[in-house]
């Protein structure tokens, strides 16, 4: 039975920030026109894989029950936890970003 995917408000904001940043790169002539769509589609498709294989990626913080999916193609990390039959996407961050999950 597939797990349900749920996005936190922070994860939704992260995805919007990714789109806005990439669109800015397109507007400045620094990236191809389809980069925002291709990137977000790729990240979304990878996240959807968690419906069938939620425990595929290791726990990186036992106290928070936090897992990390690494998306090397675009250098993003998806941080999530598995709760019952739900995969809760907590954050989607570029690998160069610093983050603190205790706040």
At 102 the pLDDT is 62
pTM as predicted: 0.92
Tokens of 66: 């936090």
- The answer to whether the Cα torsion of 36, 51, 89, 58 is positive or negative is negative
Alpha carbon distance 103, 21 (integer Å)? 24
| Mean pLDDT to the nearest integer, 36-56 | 97
Q: Mean pLDDT across the chain, nearest whole number?
A: 95
Q: Among 1.10.287.1080, 3.20.20.120, 3.30.2310.20, 1.20.1440.230, what is the CATH number of 4-94?
A: 3.30.2310.20
Percentage of residues of the chain with pLDDT beyond 70? 97
At 90 the pLDDT is 97
């Amino acid at each position: 039975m597939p797990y349900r995917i749920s996005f936190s408000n922070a994860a939704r904001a992260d995805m919007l920030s990714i789109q806005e940043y990439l669109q800015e790169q397109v507007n400045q002539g620094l990236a191809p026109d389809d980069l925002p769509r291709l990137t977000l589609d790729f990240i979304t498709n990878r996240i959807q894989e968690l419906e069938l294989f939620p425990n595929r990626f290791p726990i990186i913080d036992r106290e928070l029950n936090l897992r990390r999916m690494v998306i090397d193609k675009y250098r993003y990390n998806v941080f999530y936890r598995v709760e019952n039959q739900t995969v809760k996407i907590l954050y989607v961050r570029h690998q160069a970003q610093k983050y603190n999950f205790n706040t």
